[in-house]
Amino acid sequence: MPTSYLSDPLDDLLQRTGLSPTRVDEALERLARDWQPTVLKPGHAYLQLIRERTGINVVGIQRRYRRLLVEIEQFEDKHCRWRYHERSRSDCVFACVDNIPHTIGDALPGRPLRALIVPTPAIGAVMIDSLSRDPEGWLTLAVTPEWRSF
Amino acid sequence: MANNPAPRLSALHLDDLAIVVLTTPSGSDPADPHPELDEDTRARLRARLKLIGRHDWPSSLREDAQLRRGYTLRQCFRLVTALMLLDAHIPPSIAIPIARSNEVLLLRIIAARLADPDAISSPHDMLAVVPLGQFWEWLDPVGWREAEPYRIRSLARSELASLWSQDVGLGIAGQRLVLDVGGSAQTLWRWIRARRLLPESTVGAFRDEVERMHAEPEYQQFEERSKRR
């Protein structure tokens, strides 16, 4: 069987929930067998379990090229506080509301995310590659997590 | 075009869009930005969306080569109008011509409401009124076409009492379907904004686009039937 991958933050979430990546992969495999898109959407039992045990609002786990990709959008009173999207191996984004001065912001690339904010310890360990500011007051960071095989 | 593409809503969120539009009361905040439905319901909804797509609505690859990248805000609102008509049990082969021939009018109603997406409903809101029950196409095709059966009228909320009055051109026979498309568009935009699926500037660009269409007539009869069935 070829190797599958998942990122450190997702692995951490699954471990704290008591799920194993293999079980998530099997759930996706069942979807694929029914000709349905290989993505766990909100309402799936596993995502509800993760939210109950860790308080993190995972809105999707999808599989692309044998790689589990997680999408997290953390809400507080109906407003999105921060979000973490993995779109592919090399395209992962962390976004949060921006109130960081430029002097601090410009020094961020090349340092781990925990220099800025610690959403969960595992997400805090991802490395920041570059940053951009939206005109709407959001800070978007391109980040690289560690990938591990299972 | 390639340098400055309009932001598009990924097709990934299309069934969520349909759920939000169909289950949220017009003009209110979506209760849950991530609607929870089982795979079977989503599959049936996707089949419905595909049915709409067969009628080249909200667009087709021939009209819009970029459609694979997702839907622009205008196309999302086109889809909203079709979904609201389907929700009133109008079959797609009638709902899509209605939505298509009255597109400019519906987009104007929507753009007026989106001036302030957080506004609560007021008596001056325009509503779309669809006169139904006059589809006598098989009996008298010529007279039927001259009567403009697919034409939608707009009416302010405070004038709903004159729904059957001759003065506003609603003296014709048949039942009326009143749609709060503006309110649904507000709901949709609040959902998009809460999840940050499109940049905030999109709504301004959409209103400018509707502004630029000021010369176009509100009703353009859509003649041909869609070819892909």
Contacts of A59 in chain B (CB under 8 A): 34
Q: Which amino acid is at A101?
A: P
Q: How many CB pairs under 8 A join A and B?
A: 37
Rounded mean pLDDT, B21-41: 84
- Give B157's contacts (C-beta < 8 A, 6+ positions apart): B121, B122, B123, B124, B125, B126, B127
* Mean pLDDT of all residues belonging to chain B: 85
Query: Given an 8 Å threshold on Cβ–Cβ distance, is A79 in contact with B194?
Result: yes
Out of B29, B194, B199, name the one closest to residue A136 (CB). Answer: B199
How many Cα atoms within 13 Å fall on the side-chain side of residue B57?
Answer: 28
**Chain A residues whose C-beta sits inside 8 Å of any chain B C-beta:** 31, 34, 36, 41-43, 57, 59, 73, 75, 78-80, 83, 95, 134-136, 138
pLDDT category of residue B57 using cuts at 50, 70 and 90: confident
Looking at per-residue pLDDT, the higher value among A138 and B186 belongs to B186
Q: Which residue has the higher pLDDT, B36 or B212?
A: B212
Confirm if A131 and A109 have CB atoms less than 8 A apart.
yes
What backbone torsions phi and psi does residue B184 show, to the nearest 5 degrees?
-65, -40
Mean confidence (pLDDT) of chain A: 88
Spatial distance between the Cα atoms of B145 and B137, rounded to a whole number of angstroms: 8
| Residue of A30, A35, A41, A134 best to disrupt the B interface, most CBs of B under 10 A | A41
What is the predicted pLDDT for the residue at B224? 63
Q: Residue B3's pLDDT band (boundaries 50, 70, 90)?
A: low
Determine the average pLDDT of the residues in B1-9: 70
Does the pLDDT of residue B225 top 70, yes or no?
no
Give yes or no for a contact between B105 and B152, defined as CB atoms under 8 angstroms apart. Answer: yes
Residue B40, chain A, CB below 8 Å: the answer is: no
A42/B196 Cβ within 8 A: no
For B120-187, give the DSSP string. PP-TT-EEEEEE-S---TTT-HHHHHHT-TTPPEEEEGGGGGGTT-TTTT--SSS-EEEE-HHHHHHH
pLDDT at B216 over 50: yes
Who contacts A66 (Cβ-Cβ below 8 Å, separation ≥6)? A2, A3, A4, A5
User: Looking at the partner chain, which of B36, B196, B200 has a beta carbon nearest the beta carbon of A42?
Assistant: B36
* Whole-number percent of chain B with pLDDT over 70: 94
Residue to mutate among A29, A50, A78, A79, with most B CBs inside 10 A, is A78
Q: Is A23 or B171 the better-scoring residue by pLDDT?
A: A23
Of A134-148, B109-123, B163-177, the poorest mean pLDDT is in: B163-177
> B228 pLDDT exceeds 70?
no
| Gap from A104 CA to chain B (nearest CA, Å) | 25
pLDDT of residue B65: 86
Long-range contacts of A103-106 (CB under 8 A, 24+ apart): A105/A131, A105/A133, A105/A139
How far apart are alpha carbons B224 and B222 in whole angstroms? 6
User: In whole angstroms, what is the distance from residue B227 CA to residue B229 CA?
Assistant: 6
CA separation for the pair A115, B47 (Å, rounded): 47
**Is residue B97 pLDDT above 60, yes or no?**
yes
Task: Identify whether the C-beta of residue A7 lies closer than 8 Å to the C-beta of residue A147.
Answer: yes
Chain B residues in contact with A83 (beta carbon < 8 A): 196
pLDDT band for B111, please (50, 70, 90 cuts): very high
The count of other CB atoms within 10 Å of the CB of residue B197 is 20
pLDDT at B138: 74
Report CB contact under 8 Å: B196, A83. yes
**Contact by Cβ (8 Å): B27, B127:** no
Is B200 within 8 Å of A42 when comparing Cβ atoms?
Answer: no
Looking at chain A, the whole-number percentage of residues with pLDDT higher than 70 is 99
Determine the pLDDT at residue B72: 92
Give me the sign of the Cα torsion angle B83, B85, B91, B92.
Answer: negative
- Cβ-contact B213, B110 below 8 angstroms: no
Over residues B36-56, the mean pLDDT reads 86
Q: Among B1, B7, B3, B71, which residue's Cα sits nearest to residue B201?
A: B7
Find the CB nearest A43 among B38, B43, B195: B38
Q: Is the predicted pLDDT of residue B1 greater than 50, yes or no? A: no
Residue-level pLDDT at B180: 92
Best of B36, B40, B41 to mutate (most A CBs within 10 Å, chain A): B36
pTM of the model: 0.83
Out of B29, B36, B195, closest to residue A73 by CB: B195
Residue-range domain boundaries for chain B: 11-118+182-212
Q: What confidence score (pLDDT) does residue B79 get?
A: 92
Q: Evaluate if residue B227 carries a pLDDT over 60.
A: no
Q: Is residue B222 over pLDDT 80?
A: no
Q: How many Cα atoms occupy the beta-carbon half-sphere of B3 within 13 Å? A: 0
pLDDT at A6 over 70: yes
Lowest-pLDDT choice from A49-58, A86-95, B152-161, B214-223: B214-223
Is 60 exceeded by the pLDDT of residue B148? yes
Q: How much of chain B exceeds pLDDT 90, in percent? A: 27
Q: What is the DSSP letter of B222?
A: -
Minimum Cα–Cα distance from A38: chain B residue: B39
Least confident of A87-101, B137-151, B193-207: B137-151
pLDDT, mean of residues B107-126? 89
Across the interface, whether the CB atoms of B34 and A73 are under 8 A apart is answered yes
Q: CB B34 to CB A59 under 8 A? A: yes
Read off the pLDDT band of B4 (50, 70, 90).
low
- Cβ contacts (< 8 Å) between B195 and chain A: which residues? 73, 80
CB–CB of B35 and A42 under 8 A? yes
